[in-house]
Amino acid sequence: MSIGSPYHDWWRILTRKYIVLTVFLCAGIGLLDRARSENSPQPLQLEMRVPFAPTAFPSAGRTYLVYELYLTNFTNNPLNLQRVEVLDADAPVIEPVAAFEGEQLDELLQPLGAQANRNSSGRQIAGGNTVVVFMWVSFKSGAHVPKQLRHRVVTADNAAEGAVIGTHQTEIKVLRSPLLGADWLASDAASNDADNHHRRGIFVYDGHALISRRYAIDWMLVKDGASFSGDARDKRAYYSYGKPVVAVADAIVVTARDGLPDNVPGHNENFSPSAPITMDTVTGNTITLDLGSGQFAYYCHLQPGSVLVKVGEHVKPGQAMALIGDSGDAREPHLHFEIANSPKPFAGEGLPYLIDQ
């Protein structure tokens, strides 16, 4: 078939019509949702809020925005969610940059309180109840990331827009690794899995719902897919135990907690902490570093008697500070590492960061 053939011309016209039709369909869905809202007797009585705006960060060739959208039903009747859309707040076009519905939406939802036990589907928000949408918005490498986002929530019979947020809340710190060598497993690292206890770890502190562990990692040394060899109840059988932790940047030590005993390793019903788990002991022996710009690095569950630094000390990248232990709320030896915007455990919001190697 030659390039100038009538068949080629017919195919080119058909392709253009298909592209135009697709654009009109995307715009039409948005217009329909807006018309549905405008024609309703009153605005959708659904509060939308984002407690902490995200900061776009790169990982594995893509760019991510990670945050939580709280939806509260201010009526006495249930609301049935159909779709959650993310829009470029500064763009005139209606087409969303991301949209979630069906099973994909189900995976993002976490009802709060007793509602979580009553409803089989988080898409139904009971009257007076709240659902948290754990947002995980991904962009291809080089794609435009909006400076501001707006959200559209579509229910069975209404729709509303709101919750405008920025996408560059904080500075991204580039850090060296807190550990030495290879074969370290980043357990429960940044992901949107429903069973990731860091990502879903909402904790209320001073009257605010926070996730200090949003980007936390439990670092474990593994060999042949296992974290230990021998007796699972012996802390020294774990490859991580006693390995050094090092400073990730030029920083000032603001916490250097030592003296809490290690636990006997054990999971679930086999876990019996050596010291009562309280707000004062949950992180175990801990070092906290002030990285500047209101960011703090946490090293938790350290070995008793191993902390080498003091409060107020200036540390350099790569400087040895302590050894991995099994203290605090640790089921087996590992390093819990996170960056947050408060020097008090659990009192801040977790921040994204990059490790340079």
| Domain end point (choices 166, 191, 224) | 166
Q: Is residue 303 part of a domain?
A: yes
Which DSSP symbol is given to 273? -
* Structural domain harbouring 263: 171-357
297 and 177, same structural domain?
A: yes
Question: Residue 302's domain is classified under what CATH number?
Answer: 2.70.70.10
Alpha helices, DSSP H only, in the chain? Answer: 6-38, 102-106, 115-118
Residues of the chain with pLDDT under 50: 1-38, 119
Question: Residue 50's domain is classified under what CATH number?
Answer: 2.60.40
Closest CA to 165 of 152, 153, 148: 148
Q: For residue 261, what are the CA distances in angstroms to 54, 276, 288, 306, 350?
A: 37, 11, 19, 11, 27
Number of domains in the chain: 2
Residue type, 125: I
| Domain end point (choices 126, 150, 166) | 166
Q: Do the beta carbons of residue 283 and residue 219 sit within 8 Å? A: no
314 and 192, same structural domain?
A: yes
| Domain end point (choices 166, 187, 214) | 166
Q: What is the pLDDT of residue 347?
A: 97
Report d(CA 88, CA 151) in Å as an integer: 9
Q: Is residue 15 part of a domain?
A: no
Q: What is the pLDDT of residues 229-282, one digit of tens each?
A: 999 999 999 999 999 999 999 999 999 999 999 999 999 999 999 999 999 999
Q: In what order do the strands lie in the sheet with 184-187?
A: 184-187, 217-221, 335-340, 295-302, 285-292, 251-256, 314-315
Sign of CA pseudo-dihedral 294, 50, 213, 184: negative
267 and 178, same structural domain?
A: yes
Q: Do the beta carbons of residue 235 and residue 353 sit within 8 Å? A: no
Q: What is the pLDDT of residues 46-58, one digit of tens each?
A: 999 999 999 999 9
Q: Is residue 197 part of a domain?
A: yes
185 and 92, same structural domain?
A: no
Q: Parallel, antiparallel, or unpaired: how do β-strands 79-88 and 98-101 relate?
A: antiparallel
Q: Is residue 24 part of a domain?
A: no
Closest CA to 179 of 227, 241, 251, 245: 245
Q: What is the pLDDT of residue 95?
A: 85
Q: Is residue 205 part of a domain?
A: yes
Q: Does residue 204 sit in helix, strand or coil?
A: strand
